[in-house]
Amino acid sequence: MQTTLSHEFSPRSLWQRWRWLIWLVVIIAIYSWAIGGLQFTGLQASAKEVSKSIANGLVHPDWAYVYNGSGEDLSTLTLQTLAIAFLGTIVSAFISVPFAFWAARTVHERWHLRSGSGKVMLTLIRTFPEIVLAIMFIKAVGPGSYAGVLAISIHSIGMLGKLFSESLENMDRGAEEAITSAGGNHAQVFALATVPTIMPEFISYTLYRFEIAVRSASILGMVGAGGIGTPMIFAIQTRNWPRVGIILLGIVVMVLLIDTLSEQLRKKLI
């Protein structure tokens, strides 16, 4: 009996054989566009000098700035930064909950008016960079940490609302069905099934968002919205590198501490 191979190796098509070349051309084109388009100022004549004094300032930080009792020192302003991040995150966490229910797609349709409009709303909020929000709020309430709080709480609604609504979409509906089948009404389903199921995830996302907010709060001061960013930008502008060094150190320690703490708490939650 003669067996014939039912299918021969089909020769690779022209596209498959030369695909890599096309990719290569595309990538080279993108990079030449990117490199050619930028005007590199090159190193300034003073760059070496400046780098040297920065390095010098970073290894000899201005320790006296850590606490001097003036209320404008590192420890006071670090605490203020944390307060801005904390208040902003908590406020936005509460406001995000209704937004999340608005935007969650719980009905299996491709386009749903309620959730669709909610998602557009959240995207619209997220579009505004935090810095722009901060400047807008400075116009409304004057420079200071309150503007920072408002900027962070509004910006976080966009992020938290999205995360919350996604966790509502993916949540386990078993508990809700159990309460419904036992004769519970809507309010009971919500209080006894929805809230306990979703709470750990909401809190975990809020903690995660707090980590990000601490970083944001430490730079919002650069535009005048309170916190450690204000002395930082002053120190950079006046070339006070030892001061920059100690503030950088303060920010790094603060962020590392908050990240570790929040990670531990989140591990406990889930």
Partner 1 sequence: MSYPEMPQRPWSQRHHVRAIVWTLVLIILLALSSWATGADFGMFLANLDQFTVLLVQMAHPAWDYLSVIIQPLYETIQMAILGTTIGAAFAIPFSILAAHNLVSNKYLRGLIRFVLDLVRTLPDLLLAAIFVAVFGIGSTAGVVTLAIFSFGMVSKLFYEVIETIDMGPLEAMKSVGASKITIIWYAVLPQVLNQFVSYFLYTLEINVRASTVLGYLGAGGIGVYLQRSLDQFNYSATAMIILATLVVVMVIDGVSNHLRRVLL
Minimum Å gap between C-beta 184 and partner 1 is 22
Least Å distance, CB 83 to partner 1, is: 3
Within a 13 Å sphere around the CA of 173, how many CA atoms are in the beta-carbon half? 8
- Nearest distance, CB of residue 93 and partner 1, angstroms: 11
Q: Provide the minimum distance between the beta carbon of 16 and partner 1 in the complex, in angstroms, as a whole number.
A: 14
Other Cβ atoms closer than 10 A to 98: 12
Q: Please, where are the H alpha helices in the chain?
A: 14-37, 47-59, 74-103, 113-127, 130-141, 145-170, 174-181, 186-189, 195-220, 229-237, 241-269
Query: Near partner 1 by CB under 8 A, which window of 8-16, 48-56, 110-118, 170-178?
Result: 48-56
Count of alpha carbons within 13 Å of 69, Cβ hemisphere only? 0
Restricting to residues 80-99, name those near partner 1 by CB under 8 A.
Answer: 80, 82-84, 86-87, 90
- 50 versus 178: smaller Cβ distance to partner 1: 50
DSSP 8-state symbol, 12: P
Write down the least CB distance from residue 75 to partner 1, Å. Answer: 12
Interaction residues for partner 1, span 164-223 (CB under 8 A): 215-216, 218-219, 222-223
Tokens coding 168:
């509502």
Indicate whether 232 belongs to the interface with partner 1 (CB under 8 A): yes
Distance CA 257, CA 82 (A): 11
Structure-token pair, residue 239? 């070339």
Tokens 């302003």, residue located? 77
Residues that bind partner 1 (CB under 8 A): 30-31, 33-35, 37-44, 47, 50-51, 54, 79-80, 82-84, 86-87, 90, 127-129, 131-132, 135-137, 139-141, 144-146, 148-150, 215-216, 218-219, 222-223, 226, 229, 232-233, 236, 239, 244, 248, 251-252, 255-256, 259
